[in-house]
């Protein structure tokens, strides 16, 4: 499996470098901005450097991998590869903006982008990563009808992503409000599921699949995106996420599913959780309040309950792939991708 992923990952990284190259040159600038500039390339380099910094720190790249496998699933071979930046670059842009909104100072093993380059340049770079990848639609070897469909998919899911982020921000600002499970799951469908849905629909469409196949796979992958978010939240409260600090979500006041389950089932404990959030926010990631909050969630078994929800969703998504699509390497690799989250 590792070799099969590596072969595809090398092609994905090449596509990403085409959209955001190691060095800004006049050809790239002409393609991206429609201007010919010879003497001020350094200024443009400074604009993209913060974005490139984050992308070069790595990442799982599971979204473009999912898109490529979705394309193969319907017999499209490598036809979706030029579109890889459409699902990876905006994800990185959202991380830059998210860290500013959450006042998070650490990402992928290093200082957050706004800590290094300042909030103004970080915001600009994050926003650039939402718009820059659309050039691959314009320049790609696709029909006019395909390009119009790709743009529709892209704008739909980027809108959904921002609705999800808006919900998340509101909840972690208000320590008195506890969203329901259904509200939380919808937030995750928007915030994390949207790019998974986009990857699936773009891959199927680029591969020549039907609209029905694109929508069916999109729903499955959206739900898998929710499972991924829940598992990511659980990991934050247990061993910690790679490149981040354990318990960052407590410092940021995040209403993750473990917290929601705890509060809904033990409303009498809301004041203690609120106190932990407020102290952690004031004192930072080294605050004892972080470990105190985690201990409360462990004691109520809320973390394990959230993990069980994610595992059920993962199982249903995996079954949907196996039952809904023909056997083959692409299907097996998607299933393995889901199981490896």
CB atoms within 10 A of CB 145: 8
Which CATH number does the domain housing residue 225 bear? 1.10.600.10
Q: How far is CA 8 from the centre of its chain?
A: 19
pLDDT tens digits for range 270-299: 999 999 999 998 888 888 999 999 999 999
pLDDT, position 243: 66
Give the pair of three-digit tokens for residue 201: 């629909």
Contacts for 287 with CB less than 8 Å, ≥ 6 apart: 251, 279, 280
Geometric angle at alpha carbon 108, from 104 and 110, rounded to 5°: 70
Under the banding of pLDDT at 50, 70 and 90, the label for residue 341 is confident
Report helix, strand or coil for 145.
helix
Cβ atoms of 19 and 136 closer than 8 Å: yes
Give the helix/strand (H/E) hosting 117: helix 113-117
Q: Where are the beta strands (DSSP E) in the chain?
A: 106-107, 110-111
pLDDT tens digits for range 8-37: 999 999 999 999 999 999 999 999 998 877
Structure-token match 């490529």, residue found? 68
Q: What total of structural domains would you count in the chain?
A: 1
Residue 70 has pLDDT above 80, yes or no: yes
Residue 106, beta-bridge partner list = 111
Geometric angle at alpha carbon 216, from 98 and 182, rounded to 5°: 50
d(CA 78, CA 318): 23
* Segment 84-110 mean pLDDT: 94
> Does pTM surpass 0.85?
yes
d(CA 60, CA 83): 17
253 sits in the region (left: phi over 0; alpha: psi -120 to 50; else beta) called left
Give the pair of three-digit tokens for residue 10: 């090398």
Residue 111, beta-bridge partner list = 106
Give the pair of three-digit tokens for residue 106: 């650490």
Residue 113, beta-bridge partner list = none
pLDDT, position 71: 98
Residue 164 domain boundaries = 2-339
Give the pair of three-digit tokens for residue 49: 């450097």
Cβ atoms of 82 and 140 closer than 8 Å: yes
d(CA 264, CA 260): 6
Cα distance from N-terminal residue to C-terminal residue, the chain: 15
Residue 252 has pLDDT above 90, yes or no: no
d(CA 59, CA 55): 7
**Distances in Å between the alpha carbon of 185 and those of 40, 255, 256, 311?**
47, 11, 10, 14
Residue 266 has pLDDT above 70, yes or no: yes
Neighbour-count burial of 68, counting CB atoms closer than 10 A to its CB (0-12 exposed, 13-18 middle, 19+ buried): buried
């Amino acid at each position: 499996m590792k070799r099969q992923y590596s072969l595809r990952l090398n092609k994905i990284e090449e596509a990403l470098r085409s959209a955001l190259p190691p060095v800004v040159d006049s050809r790239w600038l002409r393609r991206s901005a429609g201007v010919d500039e010879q003497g001020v390339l350094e200024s443009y380099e400074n604009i993209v450097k913060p974005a490139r910094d984050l992308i070069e720190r790595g990442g799982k790249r599971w979204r473009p991998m999912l898109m490529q496998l979705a394309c193969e699933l319907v017999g499209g071979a490598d036809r979706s590869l030029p579109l890889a930046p459409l699902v990876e670059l905006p994800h990185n842009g959202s991380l830059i903006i998210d860290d500013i909104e959450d006042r998070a100072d650490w990402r992928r093993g290093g200082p957050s982008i706004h800590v290094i380059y300042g909030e103004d340049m970080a915001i600009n770079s994050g926003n650039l990563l939402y718009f820059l990848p659309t050039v691959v639609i314009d320049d790609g070897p696709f029909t006019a009808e395909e390009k119009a469909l790709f743009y529709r998919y892209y704008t739909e899911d980027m809108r959904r992503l921002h609705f999800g982020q808006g919900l998340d921000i509101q909840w972690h600002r208000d320590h008195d409000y506890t969203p329901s499970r259904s509200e939380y799951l919808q937030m995750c469908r928007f915030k994390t599921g949207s790019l998974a849905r986009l990857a699936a629909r773009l891959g199927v469409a680029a591969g020549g699949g039907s609209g029905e196949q694109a929508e069916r796979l999109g729903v499955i992958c959206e739900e898998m995106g929710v499972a991924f978010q829940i598992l990511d939240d659980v990991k934050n409260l247990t061993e910690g996420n790679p490149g981040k600090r354990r318990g960052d979500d407590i410092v940021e006041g995040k209403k993750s599913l473990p917290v929601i389950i705890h509060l809904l089932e033990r409303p009498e404990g809301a004041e203690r959780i609120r106190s932990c959030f407020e102290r952690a926010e004031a004192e930072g990631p080294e605050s004892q309040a972080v470990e105190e909050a985690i201990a409360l969630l462990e004691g109520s078994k809320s973390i394990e309950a959230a993990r069980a929800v994610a595992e059920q969703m993962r199982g249903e998504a995996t079954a949907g792939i196996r039952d809904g699509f023909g056997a083959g390497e692409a299907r097996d690799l998607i299933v393995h991708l889901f199981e490896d989250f």
